[in-house]
């Protein structure tokens, strides 16, 4: 298989296992490219890509922009904070105006779940979901799977614990779908107030004790507390959260095995992870960032071949 089964990347739920494996294999080739002295290839020389971000982003936007430039694509960046959206323009009108300038692909982040799906049905371009509200963040899940495979040799059969604010996290849902399709066992762990009611129906284990979760897993993917999405208080204080769910060196030293620590960023140091864990030999957080460029290069390259 050398082509994706879809012309958009809207979510991991829409991908087959073959699609995911193709993206990971293609990313491995691009990782070799970006570690060369000359990091650029002409693969998307005739393609124009718009990065349309309606929410703040640092890592994801920079990673996509770098991936696009490494592939020699023409890139335009759009931010809603200084655009006609502030004057009442609709999402479809905004994107159609961008597309009328002969743009081929749209990378979009939006606060509303389902916004990329809506857009894919209403505009004529490849749509890549760079995060839609609390729904999905497919390229983050793909780079996490790639990082696990790179570190441990395979994803199948591995035990992965996703720890933290599951309720408000788009990373958690995409990771669950991706890891399960690749044959991993998944556990979620956090305060019961931050676990969605339906979560067990996704076929994941549920654990409230972080020590038991860490003892069970091979990989701990630690999520930050998303205070900007919380309308009410889900726990008494950040200090109390850190006391019960924060991961520090002392906690890891009590385990009878070595585990891998991951984090999608940005890290709230001293809350979900202490600095001595985030910067330790257990952590592959910076490798995740590097792998993000390779994964996004793979997605852009494969979707450019699926146009029409």
Report the binding-site residues for L-aspartate: 87, 170, 224
Q: 301: how many CB neighbours lie within 10 A of its CB?
A: 21
Q: Are 9 and 26 spatial neighbours (Cβ–Cβ below 8 Å)? A: no
What letter does residue 273 receive in the DSSP assignment? B
Q: 191: how many CB neighbours lie within 10 A of its CB?
A: 19
Q: Which residues are annotated as a binding site?
A: 59-60, 87, 109, 137, 140, 170, 224, 265-266
Cis amide linkage into residue 82, ω under 30° from 0? no
* Number of residues written out for the chain: 308
Q: Which residues are annotated as a binding site for carbamoyl phosphate?
A: 59-60, 109, 137, 140, 265-266
CA distance 246 to 242: 4
CA distance 239 to 31: 39
What letter does residue 13 receive in the DSSP assignment? G
Coil, helix or strand at residue 278:
helix
CA distance 220 to 307: 37
Two structure tokens written together for 118: 């809506």
| Nearest residue to 142 via CA among 303, 264, 284 | 264
């Amino acid at each position: 298989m050398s082509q994706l089964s879809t012309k958009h990347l809207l979510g991991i739920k829409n991908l087959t296992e073959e699609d995911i494996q193709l993206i990971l294999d293609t990313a491995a080739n691009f990782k070799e490219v970006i570690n060369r002295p000359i990091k650029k290839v002409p693969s998307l020389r005739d393609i124009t890509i718009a990065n349309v971000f309606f929410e703040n982003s640092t890592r994801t936007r920079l990673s996509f922009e770098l991936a696009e430039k490494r592939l020699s694509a023409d890139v335009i960046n759009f931010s809603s904070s200084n655009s006609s959206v502030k004057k009442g323009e609709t999402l479809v009108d905004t994107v159609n105006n961008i597309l009328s300038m002969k743009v081929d692909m749209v990378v979009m982040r939006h606060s509303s779940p389902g916004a990329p799906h809506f857009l894919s049905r209403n505009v004529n371009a490849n749509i890549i979901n760079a995060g839609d509200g609390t729904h999905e963040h497919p390229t983050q899940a793909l780079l996490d799977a790639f990082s696990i495979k790179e570190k441990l040799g395979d994803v199948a059969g591995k035990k992965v614990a996703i720890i933290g604010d599951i309720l408000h996290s788009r990373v958690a849902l995409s990771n669950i779908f991706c890891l399960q399709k690749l044959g991993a066992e998944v556990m979620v762990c956090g305060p019961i107030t931050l676990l969605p009611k339906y979560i067990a129906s996704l076929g994941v284990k549920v654990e409230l004790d972080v020590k038991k979760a860490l003892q069970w897993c091979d990989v701990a993917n630690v999520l930050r507390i998303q205070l900007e999405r919380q309308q009410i208080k889900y726990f008494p204080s950040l200090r109390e959260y850190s006391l019960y769910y924060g991961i520090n060196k002392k906690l890891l030293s009590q385990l009878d095995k070595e585990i891998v620590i991951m984090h999608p960023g940005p890290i709230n140091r001293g809350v979900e992870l202490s600095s001595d864990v985030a910067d330790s030999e257990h952590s592959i957080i910076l490798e995740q960032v590097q792998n993000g460029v390779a994964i996004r290069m793979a997605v852009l390259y494969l979707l450019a071949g699926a146009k029409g």
